Structure 1
Amino acid sequence: MTPNTEQLFRRLQQSRFRSRFHLGASERQYCLDKGAETIQRHAADFIARRLAPQEPANDGKQTPMRGHPVFIAQHATATCCRGCLAKWHGIPAGVPLSQEQQAYVVGVIFQWLVREMNG
């Protein structure tokens, strides 16, 4: 984990809202059943479809609070909407996410999931 990412995770833990998100037993089992590669693919697909467009549909409400481990991770890591991306990650709203930005978001989500699975 890079120093900037470690700092981000410390900041997220200080947020009462962000720090309340954790994987439940069913989400943990889903991760185990599907495997890391599939979960990463799901994250990349969700980000590309729901977050990457210049003006995502239902922005601010496009990420469910439950139903998939990636959704929980998105809320925990403030990668759930363009407003949170701007506030927490310095990625401006109103422009499409670049491939590099999408990879960054997926990486943050995946790091959180790994921490949860190992914690």
Structure 2
Amino acid sequence: MNFEENTVRYAQISAALSRSRFRSRFRLGLKDRQYICDRGWETMRRHAAELVAERLAPAFIPNDGKQTPMRGHPVFIAQHATACCCRGCLEKWHKIPSGRALTAAEQEYIVGMLLFWMQREMTSPLPGSRR
């Protein structure tokens, strides 16, 4: 499946995540939005793919549950907002089992989920603004 085919699933999971107090508090700030605008979506896709491959894809992650910073890059924020931050959250929210390496299709699914969330965030009002 590709991004377009997963859009319905991304929307369904986003709706469930929006009911989580923890997940729903993550938002892209002005600095994060500017970073995305300056670099573009292809760069964001590449960064997301690299971070997923490096921090989530291995079968064993020594610091699982603590490998994703809470800020510093729009992808990190998206990972927490979408429950793609560690293998435990991937298993709980996305039904992707831990204890084995992620497949290429699973990695692409996660990257798509991150981009889906970031794109929706870019069209929503800034936190604290009135629109």
What are the ranges of 5 or more consecutive residues in structure 1 without an aligned counterpart?
A: none
Calculate the TM-score normalised by the size of structure 1. Answer: 0.97
1:115 aligns with 2:104: no
Secondary structure of residue in 2 paired with 1:27: helix
Residue correspondence of structure 1 range 73-88 to structure 2 within 5 A: 73-88=78-93
User: Match of 2:36, as an amino acid?
Assistant: C
Q: How many Å separate the matches in 2 of 1:105 and 1:46?
A: 11
Contact 1:86 1:92 in 2 (8 A): yes
Which of the pair has the greater relative contact order for Cα pairs under 8 Å at 6+ separation? 2
Q: Equivalent residue for 2:127?
A: none
Calculate the TM-score normalised by the size of structure 2. Answer: 0.89
Q: How many Å separate the matches in 2 of 1:34 and 1:3?
A: 27
Quote the offset at 1:3 in angstroms: 2.7
Q: How many Å separate the matches in 2 of 1:57 and 1:74?
A: 18
**Could you list the runs of 4 or more consecutive aligned residues of structure 1 that deviate by over 6 angstroms after TM superposition?**
none
Contact 2:58 2:100 in 1 (8 A): yes
CA RMSD of aligned residues (A): 0.9
User: Match of 1:78, as an amino acid?
Assistant: A
Q: How many Å separate the matches in 2 of 1:19 and 1:106?
A: 19
Quote the offset at 1:117 in angstroms: 0.5
Residue correspondence of structure 1 range 28-67 to structure 2 within 5 A: 28-67=33-72
1:48-95: CA deviation from partner (whole Å, max 9, x where unpaired): 000000012310000000000000000000000000000000000000
Secondary structure of residue in 2 paired with 1:37: helix
Larger Rg: 2
Contact 1:78 1:84 in 2 (8 A): yes
